[in-house]
Structure 1
Amino acid sequence: MAEQGRRTFLTQLVAAPTLALATRIGADALAPQPAHAVIPSLPAPADLVDLGDLFILAGAPTSHLLTLVLETDGTVVFRLPREEVGQGLTTAVAMLVAEELDAPLATVRVELDDARPELVFNQLTGSSNSIRSLYDPVRHTAAAARARLLAAAARRWSVTVRELDTRDGAVHAPDGRSADYGSLAVEAAAPTLAVLAATPKPEARHALVGRPTGRIDARAMVTGRQRYTLDLDVPGAKPCVLRRPPTLGGTVRGVANADAVRAMPGVLAVVTVPTGVAVVAETFGQALDAKAALQVSWGPGPADDLSDAGIRTKLRAATPAPLLPPLLTPYVDAEFDFAFVSHAPMETNCAVADVREDRAEIWSGLKSPIVARETIAAALGLPLGKVTVHVVQAGGSFGRRLFFDAALEAALVSRAAGRPVRLMWTRVDDTRHGRMRPATHHRIRATYALGEVLSFEHRVAAAETDFRHGLGEIITATAASLPGGLGNGALAQTLFATTVKSPYHFGLTTQTLTEIPTGIPTGSWRSVYSANTRGAEEIVVDELAARLGKDPVAFRRTFLKTDAQRAVLDKAAAEGDWGRPMPPGCAQGIAFHEEYKSRTACLVEIDTRDRDRVRVTKAVIVADVGRPINPRGLEAQLLGGLTDAISTTLRAGLHIDKGLPMEGSYSQFHYAQQRDTPKDVRIHVLPATGEPGGAGELGVPAAVGAIANAYARATGTKPRSFPLDFDVDFTPYPR
């Protein structure tokens, strides 16, 4: 048993021929406790609680959180109750295991757990929370395994454990004897083994954690050996695609030529499901041909009358005016619009399903597999115990795979067709019918006098975000118990309040959200509310600095709340050579963001001399994430955040026209290409201090603000509508 903060971790032996351990939370954490007694160092003020704290609190009572198995060949198998979507989580977790075991990283294999309902809230991947919530349990589990290996070697050699040490995947004695872990796997599993209490290494002794490390799956990914959902060899599973409605959420009224399509070469089935008409065929080519030949009559969808102009009107009408009139004080007023945005992962939505009369088995990239399993079981009318959901590594997500549309569709098609299916969303399907980041409108008013900011009000109106993927249950179950009454409002309000916070001393600061239903399918997009909200605020910070005659960096330094924040900003300004002379039409921009116990500053240089191809030419990003597990993985996360910000700030968005996005591919969505990304990107990760913070969503908001601020300085304009270049310069695909 080991103590960490206020939480106890109990590691127990699992009945198995070789060493197998499971970790669960101790009984002290299972008893009802106030939130501050469960979350280590949880601050009392409600405005300091973040969404990650809610995740940690929700997961505290879950038993059998993690499982580790040591095989006789020395391989360490770690079962991970999270999803790998390219963020590098399996590598970071493997590093934690290898560190505590003193084992080579190459001997650690991380496998993704199937949906496990007993984990309750502990199998949702999101909100930059995986490392924060797993850091202690993973280390304790691996430390317990190391303790049993030492005890097994001590009994074999009739010596004390204190005489032994571990390195390179083996136990070593002072007289030169050694035993590799595989050879000790059976003895270490003995229930009668006397084992000393195990505690993780102090961070000062880390040899692997904190060192830049390549991904454990990198070679498989670049050689094509990495197996994604559609690569799986599921017996009998045949290709499947759907003909989808011409407007979002439209329904099938009838198919005029179903029999003729069934007679086409290779076609095995034509079935109707709630989201469209599915074709199952011998090949994807045959399925696509048959889909195109379908003659379907469609019913309306809930957003058929909506287009961009109408959506903007609705959002502006729903945005409350600032509460504080400027009276006699000078002020800055600003309004901003942000368009809908596609998640656009490289791997489109897909799933494999084998549904029989009495059971079902599903394979898909899922960030919320427990809710997926429950929903699929209910839709099929099967007992939960008869539905198995396998989590497969996915090729990108950015929030998209919190929802399980493809898995549910595949299950329904498989049942209707009476055979296993391999369902693929086309790129057009994914761009047009996938969930998207909601459009938003922002009103900001800041008052100032005598060099001080007196008030800062931010009113946000957004198309309603759908949280029916498990995140809502986590917030509902935990937020109401937090200090200060957080969670008494609506679900979206709680999520907004726990993610959007100003890092500045700006007098009376208020940030509020109003959501309106639109019928448009939405979902959490990387940084959720922060990308737009904090991005807009950082633009206003620059404008406040200009009003007060201050340099943007100096102004931020004055009003930032902590030395840790200023250290990040100072490093970015120094490394980016802030203030250096630049040609006309080129400029620097800087912005700051703090979230999930981490903080970052981004400095960019922009070239606007060709207005048809505005480019970010250089970026310097500095991050303090508390304790980075894999700095190389963190650099990739921050680079990805920069690329998302370049895309959605400059050109990438979705035009809604009569209930359907006009964009249907990357070429139309205008996500950044290689030529749009800066050749000079420098990322600096500050030295480790304290516990790990979140990183996956950290990089977007500051980059949005920095790019917009650089654009404003280069052009002498005030950017207010994003993306900045949002012309329809393409011919839309047919509906």
Structure 2
Amino acid sequence: MPPAGPGPAAGQPHTPEQLPAVGQPPAPEPRPADADRRRFLTYLLAAPTLTVAARAGLDAVAPATARAAEAPPAPAAPPAAAPPSAPSQLLGLPGIPDIVDLGQALQVAGLPTAHLLVLEITTAGRAVLHLPRLEVGQGLTTTVAMMVAEELDARLTDVDVPLSDSRPDLLFNQLTGASNSVRTLYDPVRGAAAAARARLVTAAARRWSLPADTLRTADSAVTAPDGRRAGYGELAAEAAAVVVPAVPATPKPPEQRRVIGRPTGRIDARDIVTGRAKYAGDLAVPGAVPTVVARPSTINGTLASLDASAARAMPGVLAVVTVPTGVAVLAETFDQALKARDALRTSWNPGPVAALSDPDIRGKLRAAHAPFLIPPLLTQYVDGEFDFAFVNHAPMEVLTAIADVRPNRAEIWFAAQTPIVAQQTLAAELGLPQDAVTVHVVRGGGSFGRRLFYDAAVEAARISRAAGRPVKLMWTRNDDMRHGRMRPASHHRVRATYGLGQVLSYEHRAATVMTDFGHGLGEALTAAGFQLSVAGLSLAQAFFLLSQSNPYNVGIPTQLLAEVPLKIPTGSWRSVYSGTVRVADEIMMDELARRLGQDPVAFRRARLREPAGRTVLDTVARAGAWGRAMPAGQAQGIGYHAENGGRAAYLVEIDATDPRQPRVTKAVIAADVGTVINPTGLEAQLTGALIDGISVILQAGNHIDRGAVREGSFGDFHYARQRHTPPVVEIHLLPPSGPPGGAGELGVPAASAAVANAYARATGTSPRSFPINF
């Protein structure tokens, strides 16, 4: 990317920022009339170079009229979550996510430690922000670097965004998930960078004895009217002595931005394609030897007998040890370890679900539903029942973890979305104090929710302890497919009543195999003020209520979650509940429109509660030429979803002339996610969501056969290949409409629904089980 253009003059017509001495609590800062609901204070940390932190206050759910502009910033806790039968649900009022969503709850939980996000300007002129989140290919490091470069008026190439090790001091502020990273980091990162820029300008003004408001910043340097120039690196030490800057330390107004909103390639792209980017499997930790594990024949089975004599005698084999999850083989190379693993003679005890297959699980899900409230005899109605299969996360980089466990300490390297909880769990497992366990967060090659869990790291630590040496553990694709975590299977019952052209009630009953949320989310929600025990909610129900909202006026809506506890490893898969709940809703919207004799887009548009949603829907319908004539066996489909402060609509065209070999031939996408930091990155996220939708609706899922996962690799887990992807994809990003919303999970429900609806229209069928070709 070319360097950013010249920044604004250093002086602005605002009152200079008033800061206390280093180490003292910051005083309240005047708030501009057009500021949003976040307020930031910056202060210096004791350091030889310029090191600035930002502290935030967030009025998460308080109405604007109740906020005092000059009051000290204090986190406002959201109301305790209501149970599923809350009056707001039964009266058809907005659901909880319309008031405070999951991302906002996580923002509140992170507020007490937001000031620990630190930006440093080094003497080498590098702007370094240690990121307390995980980079898994979503481009977060690029997005954060753009925010720093924008407010600092630095070259993007001068910004470094390394990943932070586990930091227990951050409490609930080091969790990567719920499309929350940009929403949470947007203001603190910009606040810290703006504060650093103000101090650099002040340092230059003092050096040159010039008024600070006559200086300009651009390209990582301060420039005087007479042409004198000082790079940020040479000013860093002097800037560290500035307590009260001579110019405002507030982020730029949108009209002055030159980096944010500009399509930008990833800052790590060259490193990725040249192999310089290091994943866990690339790290050369001294003494860490290749390790693989032989695993049970069924889910959560246990070892019955072992004969390892043949394996131990094979070339390169260093050790064979047993752990609760299987038998680990350590060798000089992975090839040797895999061959020795295959030479083990093992027998296994069956796991706790060895008697179950897909039909048994579907039966349990169907039996778990609460009855509908509206009897079918009282009005006209449309019923729908939908099955969704288990789905593996299948990140391209298989799970890898390095562990070096000693008697009095442990050091772990892996891609962790929840490193603090991982550190706590590892410490408890190893019988060590938490501060004796170091978790190094390494970039990951994809996640989609899989790396919220740290099972590979725990297993590596167990093996290292048992073998008495460092190990580099690799889960093969078969390991993760058959013994890792999956999106739970679910069954949905929906009943919509209607009359006189209107939808009168809408009841959605979702039953899922229990989702494991044991990765720290519950503690974060409690910290944000959601008293789960008081409300009588399970963590899953709280998550469900904070994330699920029907965006349409459909009379009296109710949404209820029932869980079936089975000992199957599950986890949050991209979009979590929305990836099935909202897909069923969108299919029902098509069927209701058909029953009422209305166009599906017009039917949705007339009922969308948000004007912004109608704009998104109008945009995609216009750009995709909705309603155009198509040959027999081909059709268009539409899907809409709003969540995490964003909204998206997908329009796809499908060729289902052969219903067993359907092909999405075109996709048009429209999205409004507030302020877009990097349009290129957002387009990549929305495109990835399209591929997910094509996959899980048409062909990709996991079967359970007598307690075992049938699929083992991409050879039989039929994720979309290049031949399944549309040759034409158009993306339309709406102009900024507020602070950034979440985007990582936004597109999957809308894309999935659009594919399902297009297939139904093309084939004249009403698919009820997904993936369709399973």
The TM-score with structure 2 as length reference comes to: 0.90
Alignment size in residue pairs? 718
Match of 1:638 among 686, 691, 694: 686
Match of 1:565 among 613, 629, 632: 613
Taking a change above 3 Å as real, the CA distance of residues 592 and 63 of structure 1, as seen in their structure-2 partners, is: closer
Distance in 2 of aligned mates of 1:439 and 1:398: 17
Counterpart check, 1:16 vs 2:51: no
Q: Which residue of 2 aligns with 1:164?
A: 215
| Aligned-partner residue type, residue 536 of structure 1 | A
Taking a change above 3 Å as real, the CA distance of residues 222 and 446 of structure 1, as seen in their structure-2 partners, is: same
Distance in 2 of aligned mates of 1:81 and 1:701: 28
Counterpart check, 1:605 vs 2:653: yes
Taking a change above 3 Å as real, the CA distance of residues 502 and 207 of structure 1, as seen in their structure-2 partners, is: same
Distance in 2 of aligned mates of 1:700 and 1:47: 18
Q: Which residue of 1 aligns with 2:240?
A: 189
Taking a change above 3 Å as real, the CA distance of residues 486 and 495 of structure 1, as seen in their structure-2 partners, is: farther
Q: Which residue of 1 aligns with 2:316?
A: 266
Deviations 1:474-508 (A, max 9, x none): 123335269xx995422111111111111100000
Q: Which residue of 1 aligns with 2:591?
A: 543
Counterpart check, 1:199 vs 2:242: no
Match of 1:242 among 293, 296, 299: 293
Deviations 1:14-51 (A, max 9, x none): 333321222334698786744389xxxxx997352210
- Give the secondary structure class of the aligned counterpart of 1:241: strand
Deviations 1:134-179 (A, max 9, x none): 1000000101110110011011001121111111111011111111
Q: Does the CA-based 8 Å contact 1:8-1:29 persist in structure 2?
A: no
Q: Does the CA-based 8 Å contact 1:25-1:63 persist in structure 2?
A: yes
Deviations 1:573-630 (A, max 9, x none): 0000111111100000011110011101100000111233211110001000011111
Match of 1:376 among 426, 429, 438: 426
Cα drift, residue 447 of structure 1: 0.6
Q: Which residue of 1 aligns with 2:66?
A: none
Q: Does the CA-based 8 Å contact 1:35-1:481 persist in structure 2?
A: no
| Aligned-partner residue type, residue 203 of structure 1 | P
Distance in 1 of aligned mates of 2:737 and 2:647: 13
Taking a change above 3 Å as real, the CA distance of residues 461 and 526 of structure 1, as seen in their structure-2 partners, is: same
Q: Larger deviation: 506-515 or 603-612?
A: 603-612
The equivalences for 1:623-702 within 5 A come to: 623-702=671-750
Q: Does the CA-based 8 Å contact 2:54-2:118 persist in structure 1?
A: yes
Taking a change above 3 Å as real, the CA distance of residues 290 and 186 of structure 1, as seen in their structure-2 partners, is: same
Structure 1 segments unaligned to the other structure (5+ residues): 38-42, 727-735
Taking a change above 3 Å as real, the CA distance of residues 486 and 393 of structure 1, as seen in their structure-2 partners, is: farther
Taking a change above 3 Å as real, the CA distance of residues 45 and 546 of structure 1, as seen in their structure-2 partners, is: closer
- Give the secondary structure class of the aligned counterpart of 1:111: coil
Distance in 1 of aligned mates of 2:589 and 2:665: 23
The equivalences for 1:290-305 within 5 A come to: 290-305=340-355
Deviations 1:438-466 (A, max 9, x none): 00000000011111000011000000000
- Give the secondary structure class of the aligned counterpart of 1:668: coil
Match of 2:663 among 605, 611, 615: 615
Q: Larger deviation: 90-99 or 53-62?
A: 53-62
Distance in 2 of aligned mates of 1:563 and 1:585: 34
Q: Larger deviation: 61-70 or 366-375?
A: 61-70
Taking a change above 3 Å as real, the CA distance of residues 29 and 668 of structure 1, as seen in their structure-2 partners, is: farther
Q: Larger deviation: 122-131 or 553-562?
A: 553-562
Counterpart check, 1:104 vs 2:147: no
Q: Which residue of 1 aligns with 2:458?
A: 408
Distance in 1 of aligned mates of 2:72 and 2:576: 30
Q: Does the CA-based 8 Å contact 2:114-2:188 persist in structure 1?
A: no
Match of 1:132 among 168, 171, 183: 183
Cα drift, residue 5 of structure 1: 4.5
| Aligned-partner residue type, residue 624 of structure 2 | G
| Aligned-partner residue type, residue 354 of structure 1 | D
Counterpart check, 1:92 vs 2:143: yes
| Aligned-partner residue type, residue 195 of structure 2 | A
- Give the secondary structure class of the aligned counterpart of 1:187: helix
Distance in 1 of aligned mates of 2:273 and 2:163: 20
Taking a change above 3 Å as real, the CA distance of residues 668 and 476 of structure 1, as seen in their structure-2 partners, is: same
Match of 1:215 among 259, 266, 291: 266
The equivalences for 1:569-588 within 5 A come to: 569-588=617-636
- Give the secondary structure class of the aligned counterpart of 2:162: strand
Match of 1:520 among 529, 546, 568: 568
| Aligned-partner residue type, residue 690 of structure 2 | L
Q: Which residue of 1 aligns with 2:334?
A: 284
- Give the secondary structure class of the aligned counterpart of 2:109: helix
Taking a change above 3 Å as real, the CA distance of residues 600 and 45 of structure 1, as seen in their structure-2 partners, is: closer
Taking a change above 3 Å as real, the CA distance of residues 44 and 442 of structure 1, as seen in their structure-2 partners, is: closer
Match of 1:534 among 582, 601, 604: 582
Distance in 2 of aligned mates of 1:214 and 1:7: 29
Cα drift, residue 437 of structure 1: 0.1
- Give the secondary structure class of the aligned counterpart of 1:62: helix
Distance in 2 of aligned mates of 1:705 and 1:540: 10
Q: Larger deviation: 257-266 or 124-133?
A: 257-266
Taking a change above 3 Å as real, the CA distance of residues 29 and 671 of structure 1, as seen in their structure-2 partners, is: farther
Cα drift, residue 13 of structure 1: 2.2
Distance in 2 of aligned mates of 1:178 and 1:32: 42
| Fraction of identical pairs, as percent | 63
Cα drift, residue 362 of structure 1: 0.4
- Give the secondary structure class of the aligned counterpart of 2:568: coil
Q: Does the CA-based 8 Å contact 1:321-1:443 persist in structure 2?
A: no
Cα drift, residue 422 of structure 1: 0.6
Q: Which residue of 2 aligns with 1:40?
A: none
Q: Which residue of 2 aligns with 1:364?
A: 414
- Give the secondary structure class of the aligned counterpart of 2:703: coil
Distance in 2 of aligned mates of 1:388 and 1:261: 33
Distance in 2 of aligned mates of 1:145 and 1:684: 35
Cα drift, residue 514 of structure 1: 0.3
Output the aligned Cα RMSD: 1.9
Deviations 1:216-245 (A, max 9, x none): 111111222211111011111110000011
Deviations 1:327-369 (A, max 9, x none): 3421100100000000000011110111111111000000000
The equivalences for 1:134-533 within 5 A come to: 134-190=185-241, 194-255=245-306, 257-480=307-530, 488-533=536-581
| Aligned-partner residue type, residue 375 of structure 1 | T
Taking a change above 3 Å as real, the CA distance of residues 148 and 706 of structure 1, as seen in their structure-2 partners, is: same
Q: Does the CA-based 8 Å contact 1:546-1:552 persist in structure 2?
A: yes
Distance in 2 of aligned mates of 1:195 and 1:284: 59
| Aligned-partner residue type, residue 263 of structure 1 | A
Distance in 2 of aligned mates of 1:407 and 1:371: 12
| Aligned-partner residue type, residue 757 of structure 2 | N
Deviations 1:240-275 (A, max 9, x none): 0000111111122332x2244222211111111111
- Give the secondary structure class of the aligned counterpart of 1:667: coil
- Give the secondary structure class of the aligned counterpart of 1:98: helix
| Aligned-partner residue type, residue 237 of structure 1 | A
Distance in 2 of aligned mates of 1:192 and 1:591: 53
Distance in 2 of aligned mates of 1:47 and 1:187: 47
Deviations 1:416-439 (A, max 9, x none): 111111100001111111100000
Q: Larger deviation: 148-157 or 173-182?
A: 173-182
Structure 2 segments unaligned to the other structure (5+ residues): 1-18, 20-28, 59-70, 81-92
Counterpart check, 1:46 vs 2:96: yes
